[in-house]
Structure 1
Amino acid sequence: MKSGRRAFLSGLGVTSLAAALPQTKGTAQENPAALEAAPAPIGNGKMKLSFRPYELQLEHTFTVAGNSRKTTPVVLAEIQYEGLTGYGEASMPPYLGESQQSVMQFLSKVKLEQFKDPFLLDDILAYVDSLDEGNRAAKACVDIALHDLLGKLVDKPLHKLWGINPANTPMTSFTIGIDTPEMVKLKTKEAARFKVLKVKLGGGNDREMIEAVRSVTDVPIYVDVNQGWSDKHEALEMVHWLAEQGTEFVEQPLAKTAVDDLAWLTSKSPLPIIADEAFQRLGDVADFQGVYSGINIKLMKSTGLREAQKMITVARALDMSLMMGCMTETSCAVSAAAQLSPLVDWADLDGNLLITNDLYEGVKVIDGKLTLSDLPGIGIRKRNI
């Protein structure tokens, strides 16, 4: 099993730590400091996956171009192994095409007990991915729980295992959904502790939305249109106006199928144009070079952390901008995504802050900035509720 642990750590670029693990020798009396620092021994147990549905309650009705909702269905998962538990989550907003039923049907097919070594990430996640097409959120659920478990097995947070500096986390935006000017002003005032806001447009009252926000605050704005615009010329005119309002980028302004129009808009836009709904998995990254300025990575679309890491590498090689986003999620999935946030340009990791019944404690927002914990794995603990 030590060889499995060494391979895992070496693969994460932490060779020095991997090399150090097998060298711990002696009893607690002979070398108490070394024994305390060493991870718990790993036996020959089997991984056990369990899951259950859960309904997230939003503090405000959440409206984007195309739909509104007051709740979001999720599935919460646990992988138990050798007395430790890794936590995972699948979130299913309407446009993903997944449901609690479809996620649980998929997870019922996942037989992790066939793998004796939980550190064989590539083998395990390739197997999970092969079980069925799609089901990205369901696959992310397993990926997150597995990464959480592995971090706990070596008693380290993922960002430390990956050699990521937690001081480099970005500010996170707080999302203002489409609403009346009065409610937009109220939500903006409630978000006063955030240093950047993400404003949803595409509902036919775009200028009114921005003007309502600007009547309350002058913090930078990220704009997300959720495919709500249809004419590329009107979109370009709007983007020029948004640039004058302190907007940093525009996310998915046109339909994801309007590839030529999006490429035209990106080539003429004074602001970066970021792919969201159009962007799903690793194979999409290279296809979008020249169509978008950058991509919004979300674990529920990328099938989890393993593929998200690869997306970051490919996008950087192609000189594309990067954003780390989320769905409406608990602190489980948000904290998992936050482990990678120091590697991106922008973050929109506020899904846990929009709900009233979060079951976990994890990443914090301090003075507008994502702040990672030193808890092992994805950095969460269960709340006492």
Structure 2
Amino acid sequence: MKIEYHQYQLQLKDTFRISHASRDVQPSLVVSVSHNGCTGFGEAAATSYYGVTVEGMIRSLKKVEKIVEDYIEEPPEVIWEKLYPELKTETFALCALDMALHDLYGKRKQKPLYKLWNLDPSEAPQTSYTIGIASTEDMIRKIKDFPWPLYKIKLGTDHDIEIIKALRKHTNSVFRIDANAAWTAEQAIENSHILKELNVEFLEQPLPVDDFEEQKMLYKNSALPIIADESCIVETDVEKCANNFHGVNIKLTKCGGITPALRMISKAKSLGLKTMVGCMTESTVGISAIAQLAPMLDYVDMDGALLLKNDTSTGVKITSEKVIYPTENGTGVKLFKFE
């Protein structure tokens, strides 16, 4: 058994700005786990917002290599349970390793993960393509440069409605709005009625995370479905979102990988919540893992690799018509220049 760490500086096509941050480069860690002639790959993007660095993830993972070696023959969910006590505060690192172990497991079983889960890849929903906050003119340019049937529009300015009205003049595509917790309940309720008439499908995390009284008011009065993002980080958050949100956006890096994400999706469905998995500007390594889950979801946001100038691997390809799954097993990833 061998674990290796591959560090990347992923160059973005455009400056990516949301309500609380902006970046032109995305640091990322790809973890590879090799055993008995097969290699699995997993990824986690670093983020200053959550205090996660590539170097920190590597340090954390080096401490648990012996656990992986001792249980490498077990299914990935069994290994995850052994790793969690050591990495429960290091979910990004845990995600990269869990993803690699799932990829390895699929390759050893000689099946793509979606087949191991009895999913039909033709049922994968279309991903949104993200338009970050910029000048209205620049946001219009991005839409014109990348025609797509479904856009996620990042908002959180003092002229959000004006932005959407301006963008709507240049495309008939469906919009999803992500305000990144920048609105009040009153703003969100008022905006929801306006945005519904502008072909907006839902609002993602318009309110701050912990204000559930305001969230209850929004849930009851919004003209659009409300999807939790920052309010749904780990497994215990799913139940809290019931009767406060209409759906949840699960991030593999935040919850700790594919293993807990599968449980969160199942729990959300049992509570009548819509399910979505989102990305953190990962390369094709991370996106190919999300794509394995896509057929069981209502919505998916896996455009990370589409936003990059340079990628790390081949794997799942996303077009404006469909998701193209590779014939390879596991997540289907082949890392560039990997030996």
Normalising by structure 2, we get a TM-score of: 0.96
Q: Paired residue for 1:306, among 259, 268, 285? A: 259
State the secondary structure of the residue aligned to 2:97.
helix
Flag the 1:349–1:113 CA change in 2: closer, same or farther, 3 A: closer
| Match of residue 167 from structure 2 | 213
| Match of residue 8 from structure 1 | none
Flag the 1:167–1:132 CA change in 2: closer, same or farther, 3 A: closer
Deviation at 1:113, TM superposition (A): 5.1
Q: Paired residue for 1:183, among 138, 153, 160? A: 138
| Match of residue 218 from structure 2 | 265
Cα offsets for 1:219-267 (capped at 9, x unmatched): 11110000111x2112210111111100000000010011110111011
- The percent of aligned pairs where both chains have the same amino acid is 36
- Which amino acid counterpart does residue 312 of structure 2 have in structure 1? L
Give unmatched runs, 5+ long, in structure 2. Answer: none
Q: Paired residue for 1:370, among 312, 323, 326? A: 323
| Match of residue 20 from structure 2 | 66
Cα offsets for 1:266-304 (capped at 9, x unmatched): 111111111111211111101111111110011111211
Matched, 1:292 2:245: yes
Deviation at 1:117, TM superposition (A): 4.3
| Match of residue 46 from structure 2 | 92
Q: Paired residue for 1:75, among 11, 29, 37? A: 29
Greater shift in the superposed pair: 152-161 or 97-106: 97-106
Conservation of the 8 A alpha-carbon contact between 2:176 and 2:202: yes
Greater shift in the superposed pair: 143-152 or 113-122: 113-122
Q: Distance in 1 between matches of 2:329 and 2:69?
A: 25
Q: Distance in 1 between matches of 2:159 and 2:323?
A: 31
Conservation of the 8 A alpha-carbon contact between 1:169 and 1:371: no
State the secondary structure of the residue aligned to 1:295.
strand
Q: Distance in 2 between matches of 1:313 and 1:364?
A: 26
Provide the alpha-carbon RMSD of the alignment.
1.5
- Which amino acid counterpart does residue 267 of structure 1 have in structure 2? K
Aligned 1:347-362 pairs, distance under 5 A: 347-362=300-315
Q: Distance in 1 between matches of 2:321 and 2:166?
A: 21
Cα offsets for 1:40-78 (capped at 9, x unmatched): xxxxxxx22221322111110000001111111111111
Q: Paired residue for 2:154, among 200, 209, 230? A: 200
State the secondary structure of the residue aligned to 1:178.
coil
Give unmatched runs, 5+ long, in structure 1. Answer: 1-46
Larger radius of gyration between Structure 1 and Structure 2: 1
Conservation of the 8 A alpha-carbon contact between 2:92 and 2:256: yes
- Which amino acid counterpart does residue 235 of structure 2 have in structure 1? L
How many residue pairs match? The answer is: 337
Deviation at 1:121, TM superposition (A): 2.6
| Match of residue 173 from structure 1 | 128
Flag the 1:94–1:113 CA change in 2: closer, same or farther, 3 A: closer
Q: Distance in 1 between matches of 2:197 and 2:47?
A: 32
State the secondary structure of the residue aligned to 1:170.
coil
State the secondary structure of the residue aligned to 2:201.
strand
Conservation of the 8 A alpha-carbon contact between 1:152 and 1:376: yes
Cα offsets for 1:142-174 (capped at 9, x unmatched): 100000101111211100111000110111110
Conservation of the 8 A alpha-carbon contact between 2:72 and 2:79: no
Cα offsets for 1:327-357 (capped at 9, x unmatched): 1111001110110101111111101111111
Normalising by structure 1, we get a TM-score of: 0.84
Conservation of the 8 A alpha-carbon contact between 2:106 and 2:112: yes
Conservation of the 8 A alpha-carbon contact between 1:156 and 1:374: no
Q: Distance in 1 between matches of 2:263 and 2:108?
A: 23
